Amino acid sequence: MQKIGGALLSLVLLACGAFAAQAQTYPDRPIRVIVSIAAGSVTDVIMRAASADMAARLGQPLVIENRGGASGILAAQSCAQAAPDGYTLCVIYHSTMSYNPLLFDKLPYNADTDLVPVARLFFLTEGVFVNAALGVNSIAELKALAQSKPDALNYATLGDGSFPDLFRTWLNNQWGTKIVGVPYKGGGPAAQAVAANEVQVTRFGVGNFMGLLQAGKVKALAVSADKRSPLLPDVPTLKEAGLNYPGQGWWGLAVPKGTPQAIVDKVNDAFVKQFSDPKFAAFLEKQSVVPATTTAAGFASFLKEDRKAAEALIKIANTKRVEFKAQ
């Protein structure tokens, strides 16, 4: 028994030594970064901008891999199945960790055990946008139109049960309307769909719409923030517009379970420094997002509270659980 115990102890010590050595040499090759949204969306733009500086901070290039759609589920699945060696980083958001576990049955990943929180990165300022030709200039006018034509409006989402779709179901529940959801793979494609009148309304990150706003193809009716966005000073907040909707979007970073803590700490340190850099913070402001970095432990604590908030919001919206079906 003593020999067996000694052998097991030796194996544990060898494993710890291997992990320590791995962390000291990490990274020694390019790092894949799975982004849970389509290319061209505001989070994709931010992560690509960050990757240039992050290459210098970590000593290796970051290779962005977009896996948009399905409310971030496919990206989370890919992350959960990746090797826990620090060479797959996962850009996650509110749907990945807080909403999907409450809205979907048969998820192909477990948000609580398959993904290890690394850092919260930023809060997202979202807006309610409509096609410019719709003839709607306020939330009150949108409500009146939706109520007079209950099933005539289409709304861009990230799929059934996604965070944008939750806002749609909440509106339908509050207004007694039948606004129809249409899925897209990210805020960029959704913004283009509104501009092209494929759909008439949506709620996504403000950064996706700035060029279209300047071109006069879409209109902003409200923003999801405590105060008005400096990019859209004439646009009211949701509360000012009469919508007491409590949900707030955020984005962060995770890795597959089993990733050594030393690597988690190293990645956290590099990303926190990047997103805290004054020049990069100024760039983020132009994308209408607010840097909000945390330690890995701080992010884990935040996620527990965010899940509770998501549960309360889903109850208010009266949204039912659905079975996830691979697309």
Cis peptide before 291 (omega within 30 of 0): no
Residue 115 neighbours by CB distance under 10 Å? 22
Domain 27-124+248-323 shares a fold with domain 126-224? yes
Cα separation of 319 and 170, whole Å? 8
Question: Are the CB atoms for 170 and 26 separated by under 8 Å?
Answer: no
Enumerate residues 6+ apart whose C-beta is below 8 A from 180: 151, 153, 154, 155
pTM greater than 0.85 (yes/no)? no
CATH 3.40.190.10 fits 126-224, yes or no: yes
The CATH architecture of the domain made up of 27-124+248-323 is 3-Layer(aba) Sandwich (3.40)
**327 residues of the chain, pLDDT tens digit each:** 555 555 455 554 554 555 555 667 899 999 999 999 989 899 999 999 999 899 999 999 999 999 988 889 999 999 999 999 999 999 999 999 999 999 999 999 999 999 999 999 999 889 999 999 999 999 999 999 999 997 889 999 988 878 888 899 899 989 999 999 999 988 999 999 999 999 999 999 998 999 999 999 999 999 988 888 888 999 999 999 999 887 778 999 999 999 999 999 999 999 999 999 999 999 999 898 989 999 999 999 999 999 998 998 888 777 788 888 875
Residue 144 neighbours by CB distance under 10 Å? 13
Angle 83-36-210 from CA coordinates, rounded to 5°: 150
Alpha carbons within 13 angstroms on the beta-carbon side of residue 43 total: 33
Cα separation of 243 and 237, whole Å? 9
Question: Are the CB atoms for 251 and 121 separated by under 8 Å?
Answer: yes
**Among 207, 219, 154, which Cα is nearest to 184's?**
154
Domain boundaries, the chain: 27-124+248-323, 126-224
The dihedral over CA atoms of 46, 52, 57, 60, expressed in degrees to the nearest 10, equals: 120
Question: Are the CB atoms for 213 and 195 separated by under 8 Å?
Answer: no
